[in-house]
Structure 1
């Protein structure tokens, strides 16, 4: 780039946007990058307080910040993301549809270790809505050595999955089995069902008819099998998840031959959470907090399963960092620290 006097700029090509600010009237680009300066532009530029401007000098090996930011954005973009137009050297990536953000934390770190490269994102596994801002890219200098951007593009290609992508939640048929002799015999009213049904439907899935079982291993297993017969692709078993002698839900699930991923999670509320797979069908044992706490471990795990992800014990263990809900008087999840 080259710095020249405004009076000598006729015919030169602007290298960046020129912002005009008139309080209460306008604040935005008066001249865009690539604009060829005309004679009539000179008094306008002087009126904007510009004595000198930077123009394109076509130095080999250097690229403009807008091009660099766009190439960075394209290198990290996976499915489910749109790119905004470059603005003052920055490109925003937004969600193309509702879903869950999958971000490679290692990939983000690797790119940001490159000098003069900036990639800022929201937290991994965060639920997003269409149009939500997901990330922004830019470079620090107005002009940057293209070798830096080529290295960023190379790094992005070394990861098996895109550094950033939004995965839609699939539509599952979800079976609900509520355990507990007190509910089964009608001594108390079930409160799990309405909560679970509302969450399932908000995620775009279908809640099958809820079934009930007393605190009996064989009855719980029979209820789970009935849900499978009715086409359940995910099963939620509520109640009976503590260590009391009468709480036999974990035993019932394990003794069905299900692959136990975890019984217990480093999340509060939700420590007594169970995840298992019976062949390909995920089964979640839900503790009592799901019934009365607005956001729990269930809200962190279920959406990931609904994207089609097969979770491991390590995935659950990692929830400990950020797994403490502060139980604010007004819940703002997911725009808070929980699950981050």
Structure 2
């Protein structure tokens, strides 16, 4: 920081706000801290009684906060993200489309561990809508050394992308609904409509629903029938508890499913099953998926639609944040569930 005559301050950065006072009419900021002085500013500054200014001098080794924030954001942003113009030194990263937010948290930590910069994001692995603000970044001082920003750009390059929105694929989904009470028409199926509606909201579609009784053989036949008809994902609803009549897990195994997990550290969703028939995911859905506003279903299926193969480690990691507190007004995904 240095003091210079107003006439010599062109191209330099103000280190403080400059206030204008018009008695009885106005008192407020005429020039904001961080403003780059322009030639046309000189008459007004003189009218405000400013003969000298405290400024930062921009040179090849220093970057203004706006330029620094833009460089950080550009280096970090991957697919599906657009940037806002700098405002008060901050740049926001915004979703260009609906999809699954992915954040490299280790790289994010490395950036925030450095002095004079900050980068804040939403939690990774959540559905985001178009135009949602996903992250914001800025430097802390008004100016920063160029080599600090180049260091951040290098972190982003090594770990690219630091943040992205993965688009959802449109999958052909088959549903197997188990339970003798539904199969024999004693009660109406309420599970299928819930699954169909959620699948549609994510851009995929249920092409067929097959009803079966509590029979391992019928479950196997239904799964194989859906596979022959081109199912790209299968959900089996009902029959996931430990009751003797609940045979869905056994049916998935008997069909040749490679079991990733039976059970998940989430509430609701503890009795959830993930299996694969070749590349096709087969999901055993517990009853909570039918009546809970948000459940394990909402945590796992978006990742499948974004092209990810679910591993046991993915499911185990849900334990930290896997408790839904059943808010009176559900705000998912803008809450801690599954984060």
TM-score with structure 2 length normalisation? 0.91
Three-state SS of the structure 2 residue aligned to 1:226 is: helix
**Structure 2 unaligned residues grouped into runs of 5+:** none
- Contact 2:13/2:58 (CA < 8 Å) preserved in 1? no
In 1, the alpha carbon distance for the partners of 2:197 and 2:18 equals 48
Q: Distance in 2 between matches of 1:151 and 1:231?
A: 49
Q: Kindly indicate whether residue 21 of structure 2 is the aligned counterpart of residue 33 of structure 1.
A: no
SS in 1 for 2:39: coil
Q: Match for residue 260 of structure 1? A: 259
State the alpha-carbon separation in 1 of the partners of residues 26 and 233 from structure 2.
56
Counterpart of 1:292 in structure 2 is 291
Task: Give the RMSD, CA atoms, in angstroms.
Answer: 2.5
Q: Name the SS for the 1:334 alignment partner.
A: coil
Matches within 5 A, 1:7-22: 8-9=6-7, 12-15=10-13
Most deviating of 122-131 and 266-275? 122-131
The question of 1:79 aligning with 2:79 is answered yes
How far is the alpha carbon of 1:45 from its aligned partner? Answer: 5.0
Question: Quick one: distance in 2 between partners of 1:150 and 1:226?
Answer: 56
SS at match of 1:208: strand
SS of 1:40's equivalent in the other structure is helix
Distance 1:58 1:39, change over 3 A: closer
> C-alpha offsets along residues 199-253 of structure 1, whole Å, 9 cap, x if unaligned?
0111111111211111111100111111112221000100110111111111111
Mapped to 2, the partners of 1:318 and 1:248 lie a distance apart of: 27
State the match for 1:99 in structure 2. Answer: 99
Task: Provide the rounded CA distance (Å) in 2 between the counterparts of 1:334 and 1:165.
Answer: 17
In structure 2, how many angstroms separate the alpha carbons of the residues matched to 1:28 and 1:234? 59
SS at match of 1:106: helix
Q: 1:202 to 1:36 in 2, by over 3 A?
A: same
Residue correspondence of structure 1 range 231-246 to structure 2 within 5 A:
231-246=230-245
For residue 155 of structure 1, report the CA deviation from its aligned partner: 1.4
CA separation of 1:29/1:321 partners in 2, compared to 1, >3 Å: closer, same or farther? farther
- 2:62 aligns with 62
State whether residues 11 and 58 of structure 2, in contact with CA within 8 Å, keep that contact through their aligned partners in structure 1: no
Give 1:51 shift: 7.9
- The TM-score with structure 1 as length reference comes to 0.91
In structure 2, distance between residues paired with 1:201 and 1:74: 33
Q: How does 1:298-313 map to 2 (within 5 A)?
A: 298-313=297-312
Question: What is the distance in 1 between the residues matched to 2:280 and 2:27?
Answer: 57
Does structure 2 retain, via aligned residues, the 8 Å contact 1:176–1:211? yes
Offset at residue 59 of structure 1 (A): 3.9
Structure 2 Cα separation of the partners of residues 274 and 34 of structure 1 = 62
In the alignment, structure 1 residue 277 sits paired with structure 2 residue 276: yes
Check whether the contact 1:81–1:165 (CA below 8 A) recurs between aligned residues: yes
Give the Cα–Cα distance (whole angstroms) in 1 for the partners of residues 217 and 18 of structure 2. Answer: 72
